[in-house]
Amino acid sequence: MNKTFFFYLFNYVFKSRSRQHLLVFAFLGLLFSSFSLLTIQSLMGGLQSGVVSRSKNVEGVAVLSLRTSLSRKELFKLELLLERYSATFSKELEIELLLKKDGRVLPAIVHGVDASYIPPFLEQKKISNFIVPYDFAYRLDLEEGESFSLISPAETIHSLAGIPRMSKGVVEKFFTTGVPEFDQINIWTRLHFLQNFLHIKHINKMRIYTCSNLEGLLKNISSQFPKSVMVQRWEDINRDLAWALKLESKMMLGLFLSVIFLVSISIISGQLLFWNKIKQDLVGMWLLGASSRQLFRAAFSSFFLLNLLATVMGLILSYGSLKLFALYGGNILPDIFIDRKIPVLIEPYSLLISFVLPTLIATFFCWYTLKILMKDTDFLELIRTP
């Protein structure tokens, strides 16, 4: 019964001379809804993933802020704990200084990086002098090989009536981290240079870049070093950015949900018109022995299969288009963007959402409409009506 009714419905809607154009366009709308939902999620997910990954490459997936109360023995114990979890980490001294060149003074966050592990984003196996981002160099009007002055207002020379410490630095190379907010105020140098300049021996930051079990590691650090180490995940440091990305995804999903609702309303209108045209055919099926319940199940199953078919076709078209775009898509965005070629990230979650939401919403409206139509349809009255 269900199979027969499905082919009857399919032929009547798509092949007959009096084909139901409204239903055809409604099913096409459902197809393009699932197509657009997966496409936009994958493209936006790729862009968002690029922003997050570049930021984590620079800042690390977690940052350990070390207090001066941390002893050498505790530091050694902390390093062993990190190695036990197969973590890659850098040790650094981070401090805010003033940089001066030709009468121009700018604040900067200076990172003194230990030679035991130099982060890959610096693209250096060994740091000799200062590695400066292009954005910061432009603000201070620096050139490669040029020298500048470092001033430390917080660290003074007590024997000289509290005069701020000063030293000279040389630009070794320019580079970009891919994170504009970081490029505008951060520079990097050797740890020993910064320690000698400030006359201190400790470090105050450890950045974790990769780890086999980050959650377990951070819990262990928090329990073993509760007072001397402050643990911050990337999400804790960049709460505003993480919140904005989540809001962007939710707003995009809500927008497409409203489109799916509009498509479902079109399906309801098409069903009403279609039902009026096939009433006499339904009467014939009823006279041949099909009950109202069987007719309802057959009609609902048929519309559900059509909804399912439209959604799956949209996902297949979207998946194929995204794969082709990832392989052959050129540089679309202008030079001001870091990702000129839009990255594609197809996630299982996006596939699931793009399949489940259009199918469920359209199926619910079909079920509700058919239930009302079957309730209001009196086959005996239709037989009596000439």
pLDDT at 369: 77
pLDDT at 45: 86
What are the pLDDT digits (tens) for 62-72?
A: 999 998 878 88
**pLDDT of 376 higher than 80:** no
Percent of the chain with pLDDT over 70: 79
**Quick one: three-class SS letters along the chain?**
CHHHHHHHHHHHHHCCCCCCHHHHHHHHHHHHHHHHHHHHHHHHHHHHHHHHHHHHHHHCCEEEEECCCCCHHHHHHHHHHHHHCCCEEEEEEEEEEEEEECCEEEEEEEEEECCCCCCHHHCCCCCCCEEEEHHHHHHHCCCCCCEEEEEEEEEEEHHHCCEEEEEEEEEEEEECCCCHHHHCCEEEEEHHHHHHHHCCCCCCEEEEEECCCHHHHHHHHHHHCCCCEEEEEHHHHCHHHHHHHHHHHHHHHHHHHHHHHHHHHHHHHHHHHHHHHCHHHHHHHHHCCCCHHHHHHHHHHHHHHHHHHHHHHHHHHHHHHHHHHHHHCCCCCCCCCCCCCCCCCCCHHHHHHHHHHHHHHHHHHHHHHHHHHHHHCCHHHHHHCC
What does the pLDDT average to over 316-323? Answer: 91
pLDDT at 207: 93
The domain ranges of the chain are: 2-55+241-384, 59-237
Supply 6's token pair: 């499905």
Mean pLDDT of the chain: 81
What does the pLDDT average to over 181-187? Answer: 90
> Pick the residue with more confidence: 281 or 203?
203
**pLDDT of 300 higher than 70:** yes
Q: How confident is the model at residue 218 (pLDDT cuts 50, 70, 90)?
A: very high
> Pick the residue with more confidence: 156 or 186?
186
Task: Indicate whether this model's pTM tops 0.75.
Answer: yes
What are the pLDDT digits (tens) for 239-298?
A: 888 888 888 888 888 887 787 777 777 777 766 666 666 666 666 665 666 666 776 777
> Pick the residue with more confidence: 338 or 318?
318
